[in-house]
Structure 1
Amino acid sequence: MEQNKQTELAQIINKEYPNTAGLVIVKDGETFYEDYFNGCTAESRIHIFSVTKSIISLLIGIAIDRGEIKSVDQKVLDFFPDYEISEDEETIQKITIGHLLTMTAPFKYEVEPYVEYFTSENWAEFALQLLGGTGTIGSFQYRPIVGPDILSGILVKATGRTVLAYATEHLFSPLGITVASDIVFHSQEEQFAFYEAQDISGWVADHAGTNAAGWGLTLSPLDMAKIGQLYLTAGNWQGKQLVSADWIADSTKEHSRWQEMNLGYGYLWWLIDEDCYAAMGDGGNIIYINAKKNLVVASTALFVQEAKDRIDFIKAHIEPFVD
């Protein structure tokens, strides 16, 4: 990117998107732009919030490729044989991994029970107890926190490994990504400090040792750009197939839709338009992929309420620069 355009982009970020921590743009497989803000550096690991969900989707795909999970059509309760089914519980018996990946599994709550969730010992088991109910399977309902952890529980049951250990062997290490350790909170103060931290390497886990699926992973924008590039190259990284091309294609095509936002949804990936899809988290954390332009945009951001839309930012201020 030309120097004057770099300067202009930095000015826009500082003025309009002041909570940005880092931004990396990869075009045609090469780093096109890289910059950091708010005292952050290339080494800074930031909590990426719901971008974590898309990483979980990728790990489910790897487990299916390896035969540890049969398919997205496998029933959730296959992995939890000790779950006690009540006489009137029919819905939960029909719910599949695919329903969890597409946010079309019903739950027994209308408002997410955050306090009860965060104070429970095992988040996957807590969410499992809320799965099903009288809702309709197949109807999209976004579940930010309480629900996705069932997928972490499935990964643990299917692989016999912690999510972090499995991810490290089959995804992070091959990509040159380091996620240091589990992060376990022992107080509310520790949890709030984590939200504001600018350099903690790890993945949040409950007291049972299961990593969170809907949030809790920390990465740098360079790490996130590698994930995006892996999707652009159909799961192949430097000649090694980390996940099948079929999974990349299936997970980034529309399986459900959030009508309120008019956004398509794949397997825990947001579908922006015909050529673009993204992993998005609170504050403006994003992995944005434009297949037509062979473009990846990865940005970390410090948490703020009602952060400005990063898709608008990318469409208006980044894509025109790379053409």
Structure 2
Amino acid sequence: MSYNRREFLQQLGFGALQLGVISAIPASVWASSLQYGQLPRSSPDEQGMTAKGIMDFANAVETDKLNLHSLMILRQGKVVAEGWWAPYAPDLKHTLYSLSKSFTSTAIGLAVAEGKLTVEDKVVSFFPNDKPATISPNLAAMRVKDLLTMSTGHDKDSTPALRGGPDKNWVKSFLAQPVEHTPGTFFVYNSGATYMLSAIIQKLTGNTLLEYLKPRLFQPLAIEDMDWETDPNGINTGGWGLRVKTEDIAKFGQLYLQKGEWNGKRILPAAWVEEATRSHIQSKGGARPAEENDWLQGYGYQFWRCRNDGYRGDGAYGQYCIVLPKEDLVIAITSETSNMQAILDHVWNHILKSVKITRVSEDKDVLAGLQKKLTTLNLPLTPGKPDGTLAAKLNGKSFKIADNELKISKVSFEFAKGWCLFRLKDDAGEHLIVNGIGGWKIGMTDLSTLPLKLVLTPVPGEIKSKIAGNGAWIDDNTFEMTWRFIETAHYETVTCRFEGDNVQVSFKRSLAILGNTKDPRPVLNGKMLT
């Protein structure tokens, strides 16, 4: 993609304007009118919660550097607090990772209610053309219920065999895996099992999981603009890959809290909600003893049980839909953290403890402090100086990049007050990233997000991604950029080190930063073009 200067300036203006709008949106619109599909708003004190507890939660997750992207708290069906850490924003979708599983389970519940299947149906019965020549007794015994409860009988997660196997038919690959245990008796977290639920929906209805859910779940809840990643044959991945907004996560949790009713209409049978959210099998995970571990409270139909008699859908790196029926409380969170238990600990220690039986008499200054906090949340900018002694020398300069496996051939820089324009040319064309200096610049990019993701499955038809860029001079010879792909959970840093007429460009994705591992992409070496 190539840009002329006018197009660039238009994008820069759009980015600056959008960020201004985002930062001006009240994080808890306690007294404003609602837009179509929005949940009703209230204040914490009116719904029996203390603003201080919510403030303490926000401060605690920032102190622990848990990299939250969004928070929404519902009490008694009303939003009492909401906030987005810029550059994340209310109108952006967010990767859910395994929180997608709870939506897949819901599709099965809807299909059961429509009489399309039962949870006792055998998995092989749906795929006569994909089953192996020899069917083991354990495979023959595997039920839909065993897929739902992660008790398929596999000794390990089947997902790597599906994604990395030579056969692009993931259903066939799943059915070919050995089933070492009697189904229903052995828990192992298995995203491949959830994928099979998606494949069953598509087999039975002729619609993808996403298409099936649109009129039955998403439209009644006014959830729009969602998408879902697919396997090589166009089957939604099921166990991961759904993207919706934070408020959509909250709506989903509220639907379950209300036993499947929405605006007086039955969406999902109450009996299914009860069955899906109770413990069916002892779960595994976490490093702490059971009384302190939210992964050892039991597993339902693609829902985890929690401490404090709650349940949740959750996804890798801290995507949460937490439902606490006794407290009439729903909490939606998106983030990118390596310590998911820490987020839950802060939920219990601060948000849960802020719930009172009756209306709270709250100091107006405390409420105002919470409001200010939630409307000014920000993720850290690239640390460093806004100005560098080399900026003038590099302005408008291009560097020819030595041959590399990324097929990047040229990079260039343009510096001005408050921003840096970075261009990267590869075999697909020229890509442009606008980086704010001292703030974020929002734009679009056709750079692929796949290298940043945990699972390398695509969103059908996605060519461009929303991106927020920021840069700073981390020393006299090094300019570093942070690129947040703001409809994913992920970001990357791009470090440019200059020495004479040479540049070294290195990439580090956020998953490598979290795991303290090396990014697999090579360091690029370039020489200035005269």
Assess same fold via TM > 0.5.
yes
1:99-152: CA deviations, max 9, x gaps?
Answer: 110111123x6465627515653433332322x533222233333433321111
Partner of 1:64: 112
Call closer, same or farther: CA 1:17–1:289 in 2, change over 3 Å.
farther
Q: 1:240 aligns with which of 259, 265, 276?
A: 265
> Does residue 90 of structure 1 match 2:137?
yes
> Does residue 49 of structure 1 match 2:115?
no
Partner of 1:315: 348
The AA in structure 2 aligned to 1:21 is H
1:210-289 superposed matches below 5 A: 210-258=235-283, 261-273=295-307, 275-289=309-323
More strand by share: 2
Call closer, same or farther: CA 1:21–1:164 in 2, change over 3 Å.
same
**8 A Cα contact 1:127 1:149, kept in partner:** no
Q: TM-score, normalised by structure 1?
A: 0.85
Partner of 2:123: 76
Partner of 2:332: 298
**8 A Cα contact 1:125 1:150, kept in partner:** no
Output the CA distance in 1 between the equivalents of 2:255 and 2:180: 39
Q: 1:100 aligns with which of 136, 141, 147?
A: 147
Deviates more, 1:241-250 or 1:34-43: 34-43
**8 A Cα contact 1:50 1:214, kept in partner:** yes
**8 A Cα contact 2:216 2:267, kept in partner:** yes
**8 A Cα contact 1:179 1:203, kept in partner:** no
Q: Does the residue aligned with 1:14 lie in a helix, a strand or coil?
A: helix
Output the CA distance in 1 between the equivalents of 2:246 and 2:331: 9
1:67 positional shift? 1.2
The AA in structure 1 aligned to 2:83 is D
Partner of 1:24: 72
**8 A Cα contact 1:290 1:296, kept in partner:** yes
Output the CA distance in 2 between the equivalents of 1:54 and 1:9: 25
1:94 positional shift? 1.1
**8 A Cα contact 2:187 2:282, kept in partner:** no
The AA in structure 2 aligned to 1:28 is Q
Output the CA distance in 2 between the equivalents of 1:312 and 1:129: 40
Deviates more, 1:40-49 or 1:77-86: 77-86
> Does residue 128 of structure 1 match 2:128?
no
Partner of 1:143: 189
1:225-249: CA deviations, max 9, x gaps?
Answer: 1010000111011011111001001
**8 A Cα contact 2:131 2:176, kept in partner:** no
Q: Which runs of 5+ in 1 are unaligned?
A: 181-201
Call closer, same or farther: CA 1:230–1:76 in 2, change over 3 Å.
same
Deviates more, 1:257-266 or 1:287-296: 257-266
**8 A Cα contact 2:162 2:192, kept in partner:** no
1:19-75: CA deviations, max 9, x gaps?
Answer: 111100000001011011141111121111111111111110001111122x11111
Output the CA distance in 2 between the equivalents of 1:39 and 1:165: 30
Q: 1:164 aligns with which of 190, 206, 210?
A: 210
Q: 1:13 aligns with which of 47, 51, 61?
A: 61
The AA in structure 2 aligned to 1:171 is L
Root-mean-square deviation (Å): 2.2
Q: Does the residue aligned with 2:82 lie in a helix, a strand or coil?
A: strand
**8 A Cα contact 1:164 1:203, kept in partner:** yes
1:15 positional shift? 1.8
Call closer, same or farther: CA 1:31–1:17 in 2, change over 3 Å.
farther
Which structure is higher in RCO with an 8 Å CA cutoff and minimum separation 6? Answer: 1
The AA in structure 1 aligned to 2:98 is S
Q: TM-score, normalised by structure 2?
A: 0.53
**8 A Cα contact 1:19 1:38, kept in partner:** no
The AA in structure 1 aligned to 2:314 is M
Partner of 1:207: 232
Call closer, same or farther: CA 1:301–1:169 in 2, change over 3 Å.
same
**8 A Cα contact 1:284 1:309, kept in partner:** no
Identity %: 29
Output the CA distance in 2 between the equivalents of 1:95 and 1:117: 21
Call closer, same or farther: CA 1:144–1:49 in 2, change over 3 Å.
farther
Call closer, same or farther: CA 1:49–1:262 in 2, change over 3 Å.
same
Output the CA distance in 2 between the equivalents of 1:115 and 1:267: 23
More helix by share: 1
Output the CA distance in 1 between the equivalents of 2:188 and 2:194: 10
Output the CA distance in 1 between the equivalents of 2:64 and 2:190: 26
Output the CA distance in 2 between the equivalents of 1:272 and 1:25: 17
Output the CA distance in 2 between the equivalents of 1:122 and 1:84: 11
> Does residue 40 of structure 1 match 2:74?
no
**8 A Cα contact 1:286 1:310, kept in partner:** no
Q: Which runs of 5+ in 2 are unaligned?
A: 1-43, 45-49, 286-294, 357-530
Output the CA distance in 1 between the equivalents of 2:248 and 2:84: 14
Q: Does the residue aligned with 2:317 lie in a helix, a strand or coil?
A: helix
1:278 positional shift? 0.6
1:178 positional shift? 1.5
